[in-house]
Structure 1
């Protein structure tokens, strides 16, 4: 169409506007395509950057896992080394003390004068103090090192109370104190030996700081837990010493003298052990005290759902029927010469027939001539890497009968205690107290 044919200016304007709009739309479409292209390039760059960051994070996480595994292995090796060191320390430190105990006991029976007996008694008291100190320090070291593992089970408190009453009643009676344990049917979730040690130390402390009146021990339920109270009428604890009572070697200013208390000198370690044991068992301990009126210690433990039945298997064993050891044939298997000689001398003083050996082959050789022991006393760690528990088993096989056996050792491991129970072997830890040894021998032979 020619321009001359168009006579409508408005029409020309509309045509021009339409052409301009079409051109603008075309340019916008091209611009949008270019923007999309740029956006795609930017997104690809960001994806690549985040991918690299993720790969770096994964590499760092993998290295952290490797470091954690290495740290765990190092910690396990360190714990194993601590366990072995403490076991070796227990054995090496207590071994000579055990020999001294046995030798002094044999020496005391040779004394005929009052002066000689008094000197021997002084040496025995010094050895007892040294024994208590070394054992407690080793216990603290083992608890701090984390090598003590609690064996949690259902523990009835009544048999435990009866056992503690049997132990402490003579001490209380000697001092004119009233010691009472209230009957209870409570059963708690705890480690029996560790919880007994807690109560033993708290009761011992209560008696030591009480001059008149007495000590009362009882238990009561509190929801799903059991509260054990140890109440004394002693001297009380000053408020400024509340935190210090759990510190090592702390002895209260109101402590009675050892001989006057009739319990020997305290070491100031009893409650320090108690706090560590309570923490290891996840129990709680607290106390309230009034000067001149007394103290109440409270131990809170989780209650068991198992009901208590009187006459349980964990009731304390009946006392031995007699102490006659005359003519008893005893085989002593011990690798330490001083301990072996001291033990043989002590048993001979008790009129026993003794044979000794330092390892399994030597012990088995003692049976070659038909001689059969009535009782075996063995250390756990013998010469040539032999173990006392295995040696006892071989001796029983050769003798064709289950010979009563006693494992006397400084090895504190729970595994050894479990193995001894399974094998029907009594366990006694060094240093041995001769009176306890004689009583246990009589019990095994009865």
Structure 2
């Protein structure tokens, strides 16, 4: 089960903590050459390359890459009532929370006739990726599409891998939820090829290039995002999921164990980390973890994740040290299950999403909390944020000065432009006053 990292009696530096945090043995850079070759195939050969890649990587050749409208309609009609109802509830919650992420335009008046306006302009077109693999992710359709719609993106394309179990079509639940959200441009393509197709476009199927690509995926998707940066924008290089739980002796050991297992079932490389100042709680969690791992459906996958180098039980002297370790780890998902949650929360700086209290499990955020579950992984929460409406917005500054306002600031411009030996800058101002 979980290996132990014992920090009691020590106070590592920030660099020391960074060296201690457990990580999966994944290296995006090792996949760059393969991802670049796949993208080049798509860039040069378009739909033919995408069809060949589906056959090679997904084990099936779709009839076409673009999903027909009647297939989307049929998938929508075929959604199970309980799935449709759950999706609608989730859409409503995510939409409400996403709307709070859109800033209002603001005017700054720096003097009579001198105004700078801040506005947030949506990108016109985005490509949203929904992975296949070990599970089906209709929730990721919602988490990608709704913030883009709230931000005001006019053109949204969605891609998901072809499924051999469905004759080369994308998973019908993915198609149905896309249709439920009004998305009509859907493609059966996956992995690095899909990211390349979004970035460069595919003329033969009417796929125009996008301005931003978002969505989770495997190491090849992450590598492909790195390759296309500069051609298009990306959200983040998503990798295997992770959860870090800070808990003291007041926490329910079974709740903690259940939450660690919930994320470990995603992938053998998923990270499950418990940080606690209570050896007694650690022992109870280990006991409950063994029981839950043995009983869960994907037991082998979960056990491999729990036993992996990326998962650990971290013993600390106090909750201050627990917060320091969490900040160094930069978890995608952080749970705080301690008596004084607010005191611990006040020390947290780096996390994709934070779940406070015994009744705010990560699973809530995965589906129905209203928060977004597309979050930075692999420690990227130390410098990046999760998907939100802001992902699809660009801040722009509108400058409006009249003649008197420009005349007032002209000496400032003249002095600075002269100091920088850029006299034409100053002359562009004085030319307006006949000088």
**Superposition TM-score, scaled by structure 1 size:** 0.24
| Higher helix proportion | 1
When Rg is computed on C-alpha atoms for both structures, the one with the higher figure is 1
TM-score, normalised via structure 2 length = 0.25
Indicate the structure whose relative CO is greater, using CA pairs within 8 Å and at least 6 residues apart: 2
